Amino acid sequence: MTLVCSSNLGWLISHSDYTSTIHKNCQEFIDIKTGLFEINAPYVKKNSKRRECTDDIEDTEVNTVQNVYNMIFLEFKEHFKNETFKDNNQNAVILSKYVYEKTSQCSLENIKGMNNGPAVLNVINGSRFLFPENCRFYCKDVLEITENLYDEKFDLILLDPPWWNKYIRRKRKKTSHAYNMMYNSDLKEVQIENLLGENGLVAVWCTNSAQHITALKEDIFPKWGIRFTSKWYWLKVTQKGVPVCNFSNPPGKQPYEQIIFGCHPNRKLACPSNGKMILSVPSALHSHKPPLTELLKIYLPVQPKCLEIFARYLLPNWTSYGNEVLKFQHESLYEIG
């Protein structure tokens, strides 16, 4: 189970445990490579120029998040390890480079499929990919989503957009595994308004950019026909429970990201409470977000229809859509035997 423990402030979840659980009914032994989550100590930041950016969160929000972390850590600290490591997370770094190398060699475009049975391994273009039970996927351009999901309505739509970022854009030139970023105006054109049911909930993974958050609340959400309700914080911690990097004055890098919620104006079900915090040890793979399935189920009807857009992995009972939808289903992430 992904949920380790909970409190009034939020939750501690395990991404690796959840991934292992959903593949237990496969005929072959399948387990996520735990080395991807061996984040044993805060990352040592290499010397670099200070980011020139005025578009960032306010000091007050950083302080609020840090205060919540200080309180929630006291409640959850018994679930973290006590050992001290000084390896700068080398095992996770080496393994992530291996995964990037292997997945970059797989060209998957304009395909779709589903698995109605138990978890299974299938070969596509010479590589094995893992498919959890009762999943459906579309490896296609997100701007064509309504053409492929015509006349379907979903109770939950989760998005993890590749937000435009100048720093990532510069770094992207040095890597082959980087993704194509989107402007806010491009994201606005994804037709969520045609996919969300009347009781629907939308959750968007977001950076700490004030520009992106404001665009979501004031421009993108209204175009999608939804209203802003609340936001949560995902705080990335080491195996010892300390943040993966220091809290810093904006525009410095923060150890957390945000999840922005919106809902259909006719929604009758409860919406997520504001300001909750999720703690988890992150994957060493960029954009390998933890699943939110168990945390969001209390806000959904029985047997909900769930859709993830810009998906990078598959989930049981979900429809997953995006041009990297099978990226983290590749055999290089798993122990198979």
CA distances from 225 to 143, 222, 308 (A): 17, 5, 18
Size of the chain, expressed as the number of residues it contains: 337
- At 5 the pLDDT is 96
Instruction: Give the integer Cα–Cα distance in Å for 277 and 65.
Output: 8
The pLDDT, as a whole number, for residue 249 is: 87
d(CA 135, CA 119): 9
Confidence at residue 172, expressed as pLDDT on a 0 to 100 scale = 47
Domains (range + CATH), the chain: 3-46+53-336 (3.40.50.150)
| Per-residue model confidence (pLDDT) at position 179 | 57
Q: How many CB atoms lie within 10 A of CB 48?
A: 7
* Secondary structure of the chain in HEC code, one letter for each residue: CCEEEECCCEEEECHHHHHHHCCCCCCCCEEECHHHHCCCCCCCCCCCCCCCCCCCCCHHHHHHHHHHHHHHHHHHHHHCCCCCCCCCCHHHHHHHHHHHHHHHCCCCCCEEEEECCCCEEEEECCEEEEECCCEEEEECCHHHHHHHCCCCCEEEEEECCCECCHHHHHHHCCCCCCCCCECHHHHHCCCHHHCEEEEEEEEEEECCCHHHHHHHHHHHHHHHCCEEEEEEEEEEECCCCCECCCCCCCCCCCCEEEEEEEECCCCCCCCCCCCCEEEECCCCCCCCCCCCHHHHHHHCCCCCCEEEECCCCCCCCEEEECCCCCHHHEHHHEEEC
Please, which residues bridge with residue 336 across strands?
30
From first to last of its 337 residues, what are the pLDDT tens digits of the chain? 589 999 999 999 999 999 999 988 888 889 999 999 999 999 876 655 555 554 566 789 999 999 999 999 999 999 999 887 778 899 999 999 999 999 998 888 899 999 999 999 999 989 999 999 999 999 999 999 999 999 999 999 999 999 988 655 545 444 444 458 899 999 999 999 999 999 999 999 999 999 999 999 999 999 999 999 999 999 999 999 999 999 998 778 999 999 999 999 999 999 999 999 999 999 999 999 999 999 999 999 999 999 999 999 999 999 999 999 999 999 999 999 8
Give CA angle at 90 (89, 91), nearest 5°: 95
Residue 106, pLDDT score = 87
Query: What is the per-residue pLDDT across 94-118, written as a single tens digit (0 to 9) for each?
Result: 999 999 999 998 888 899 999 999 9
Are the C-beta atoms of residues 323 and 109 closer than 8 Å to each other?
A: yes
HSE, CB side, 13 Å, CA atoms: give it for residue 65.
Answer: 26
Residue 257, number of CB atoms within 10 A of its CB: 18
Q: Are 308 and 320 in contact (CB under 8 A)?
A: yes
pLDDT, one tens digit per residue, over 151-183 is 999 999 999 999 988 655 545 444 444 458 899
Peptide bond into 251 cis (omega under 30): yes
**Residue 87: predicted pLDDT:** 82
Contacts of 300 (CB under 8 A, 6+ apart): 155, 156, 201, 269, 306
Closest CA to 287 of 307, 310, 314: 310
